[in-house]
Every structure is written in C-alpha cells, then in structure tokens.
Amino acid sequence: MEYQIPRGTYDILPAQSYKWQKVISAFRELAAAFGYQEISTPVFEQASLFERSSGDSSDVVKKEMYRFTDRKGREFALRPEGTAPVVRSYVENRLDIGSANAKLYYIGPMFRYDRPQAGRYRQFYQYGIEFIGSNNPYYDAEVIAILWFYLTGLGLQKLRLELNSVGCPKCSVDYDKALREYFKPHLPQLCPDCQIRFDQKPRRLLDCKVPSCKKIASGAPSQLDYLDAECREHFAAVQEQLSLMEIPFVINPRIVRGLDYYTNTAFEVIYEGLGAQNSLAGGGRYNALLEQIGGKSIPALGFAGGFERLLLALDEEKVSLGRPPVPDIYVITMGKAAQQLLLPYINRLRQAGIYAEYDPDKTSFKAQLKAADNSQARFALIVGEDELASRSVVLKNLQNGQQQTTPLEPLSELIAILKG
Ligand code: HAM
C-alpha cells in the first residue's frame, strides 16, 4: 500500500464512532452538571510554554514532544497535554477578571512521541477538567468527584482511586534532600536515567520501571513524612471531603506524576486489568503554575484521562455502550412515479429527526426488502401502485411483520407513529 497511517495513530472507523460519541457526551453532560464549561485551545503552542510549565525533568517534554520550527523560524510544539494551554488561555484572555472561579473542561487530541502499545499512542484523545481560582480542599474533592462519577457512571467497577500529596515547593526541598541521602549509597547500581534523576529531580527515582532501581526505591522515605503543617492539613481536609462525598480512595505516597507542575494533591485512577498502561486518568493541584507562566498567583487543579484506555477498560468489563444507530425506516418504492412522489416526504421525515434509509440504485422489490432487513430498520415504508393512487404508505414492522396503511398527509401522523 502506498500510504499508511503514521505509527502510534489510529482511525476511528464509522462502526466504532458511536462508542466515542457516547463517552464524549457522557463527559460533557456530567461536567455541565458541575457547572464546568468547555474550552478549546489550538493543537500547537509555543514550545517554551510546555518547557517552562511541564518541566525539564519530565519525559513528556524532554523526550516525547513533537517540536517543529515554522517558516519564520518560530519554535512550536504539538500539545503533549492540555493543562498548560488552558492556563495560557486563562492568563491571556484575563479570565481572572471578576470574582468567579474558572470551571473548565476540554476534549481533544494530544501528541506524545511515546513507544506505541495497547493504550499508548502518539496521538491520543484526552478529556480533562481544570479548576482555577481557589485552594479550598472542597474543590480538590469536587474535581476528583467528576472523574470518579464519570468512570463509575459509565459502568466501570475495577477502579482504584489513589491519592497522594507531593507537598509545596518548601516541603519538597526537605524531601529531595532526604531522597538524595537515601539513594546516594546506591548510586552505582542505578540505571543511567536514574543517575540523571538523582541530580535533577530525585522524586522521579521513585517512578523508574527498571526492576533493580524499583527494588532500591522500595525502601525510600515517604513524601508524606516530609509535609509541613499546612500541607498536612490540606491533605487531611481533602480526604475528609472525599469521605463526605462517599468517594473511596487509597493513599499511595509513591504516586509520582509525569509532569513537573504539581503541588499538594496528586491522584490517579488505576484500572486493574489493563496491563502496563493501567492509569486511566490522573491529575492534581498546580498552585504555582499560573505565576510560572506569567499570570497572577492563583491556585488551581485538574485532571485528564485518555479515551483510548477508557474504551479498553469498558471493553474489558464488557460494558455496553449501546450500538450503532439503525434506521427508523427503510424506504421501498415500486416504480418511478412512487419514487418521485416520496422524495420530498423522505427529506421532511429526516428533517423531523427520523433516520430514513433510501437507495435509488435498488429497484426490485425483493432487493429493497432484503436491504431493509439487512439494515435492521424498525420499519419498511413501502409505496406500491395502490399507495401511489391513494397517496399513502404501508408501514411494515420488520420485527413482527405487522403492517398498517397511513396517509402521507398530514405527515405529522406518520411522524407520530414513527416517534412513538
Ligand atoms: P498525564 O498523566 O500525563 O496527565 O495524562 C493523563 C492521562 O492521559 C493518562 O492517565 C492516560 O489515560 C492518558 N495518556 C497519557 N499519555 C497517553 C498516551 N501516549 N496514549 C494514550 N493515553 C495517554 C496530564 O496530561 C495532565 N495534563 C493532567 C492534569 C490536568 N493535571 C492537572 N490538570
């Protein structure tokens, strides 16, 4: 074949698109019920936006970003994630003016030059929430609640919400020091990447997938023992709010998020049964990010999840997402005059929201009836010679074979039957 789809990407084929529509509309509806509004930003941004916000120690930015130079020599990147662009837009459009918090959601493609495998792509679709404006732990729980209710509402059960606090920059200084002290004697045994992590961001040593590093990391000190009083209090309050909202969670002090902007609350939803790519969604607070990219100091938090993994999990748990749409009617005409009579009516039915299939290439009654059966339409709408003379149609219920004759005018009667 001359042309092939780029590695790590995929087509959403028509037979699958109803599943996407279902999970997307479920997210939109739930976000709206919490008062969140949609925001859309471009798929490319200045590369430095991500470098400055998402961090120099994160693989997402260091190794996986699609960077390009445009014709005028400007450096851009396909967005690897949605948070920095949303924050950029918030600052640039002065959404902070007025007293209201910004409650935002987004849906769209992200790009990472990752090693493709099940649940991991180079172009993938995220659903995400960003809440900007308050440090109240209630909002930590609210944002987590949206994620939790979304996933459980779709019917997933094998979910685990993991919660952690990565503290504020002040507590991080002490914690990084403790980690370096712990890892120092093991340095020669660590992988080359971890040697760099040791200098740059020791916290990432906890996230290495190399078995020998993992073993060493298992004895490392816990982040939670290095939180200052304020961060400890915030973390306790988030847990309390989650309990009040009846959202089950487990504390995992080893959650290390892949991006660098997190402060305090960090969380992930894990789905048992997806193999290595078992993180369905993740997020946390990023109280320092707005200031870092040129805005005022305003606290914020959010999460994002990938639709691909979500669909894999739904498949694995055999959750039905409905089925592809089937026609309400399949139109069968006998002869040219019947065709001509019916054409405007077919379109009027479609304008009224009735899904009507019609194929002018099929002319014999037998071929049309067979096509009607194959289409799984609810009704065949048939116009033969008698109906042509009386300007009526025969509606044949294709499930039970029952027939009724109905006049074409007023069309509202036919619409009422079809919608009933
Ligand atoms: P993240 O953990 O990098 O966070 O990604 C969030 C989710 O996106 C993952 O849990 C996973 O479901 C999906 N995902 C990530 N990479 C891939 C990939 N290569 N293929 C398929 N799915 C993928 C963020 O992106 C943050 N912006 C989340 C956030 C929002 N934090 C605060 N606000």
Residues 149, 66 share a domain: yes
Which tokens go with 255?
A: 């959650």
The secondary element (H helix, E strand) that includes residue 367 is: helix 365-375
In a domain, 300, yes or no: yes
CATH code, domain with 26: 3.30.930.10
Q: Is 305 in the pocket of ligand 1 (CB under 6 A)?
A: yes
Question: Is 7 a member of any domain?
Answer: no
| 103 C-alpha to ligand 1 centroid (Å) | 19
Residue 119 shares a structural domain with residue 250? yes
Instruction: Give residue 125's domain range.
Output: 14-168+228-316
pTM of the model: 0.94
pLDDT above 90 for 221: yes
Ligand 1 contact, 126 CB (< 6 A): yes
Ligand 1 atom with the shortest distance to the CA of 120: 20
Q: Are 25 and 108 within one domain? A: yes
Question: DSSP assignment of 137-204, as one string?
Answer: HHHHHHHHHHHHHHHHHTT--SEEEEEEE---HHHHHHHHHHHHHHHGGGGGGS-HHHHHHHHH-GGG
Domain-located, residue 210 = no
* Domain identity same for 308 and 347: no
Q: Is the pLDDT of residue 378 over 90?
A: yes
pLDDT-derived band at 114, boundaries 50, 70, 90: very high
- In-domain check, residue 235: yes
Same domain, 282 and 397: no
Q: Could you say which of 262, 295, 316 is where a domain stops?
A: 316
The pLDDT value recorded for residue 43 is 98
User: Do 299 and 267 fall into the same domain?
Assistant: yes
Q: Is the CB of 55 under 6 A from ligand 1?
A: no
Confidence grade of residue 302 (pLDDT, cut at 50, 70, 90): very high
Query: Which tens digit of pLDDT belongs to each residue from 331-347?
Result: 999 999 999 999 999 99
Give a yes or no: residue 363 inside a domain: yes
Q: What is the mean pLDDT of residues 233-246?
A: 98
Nearest to 264 by CA among 167, 134, 135: 167
pLDDT for res 201: 86
Q: Provide the percentage of residues in the chain whose pLDDT is more than 70.
A: 100
What's the pLDDT tens digit per position in 118-160?
999 999 999 999 999 999 999 999 999 999 999 999 999 999 9
pLDDT at 18 over 80: yes
Are residues 258 and 365 both part of a single domain? no
For ligand 1, whether the C-beta of 295 sits within 6 Å is no
Q: Is residue 189 assigned to a domain?
A: no
Q: What CATH number is associated with residue 394?
A: 3.40.50.800
Q: Which two tokens stand for residue 249?
A: 């969670």
Please check whether residues 118 and 253 belong to one and the same domain: yes
One domain for residues 260 and 162: yes
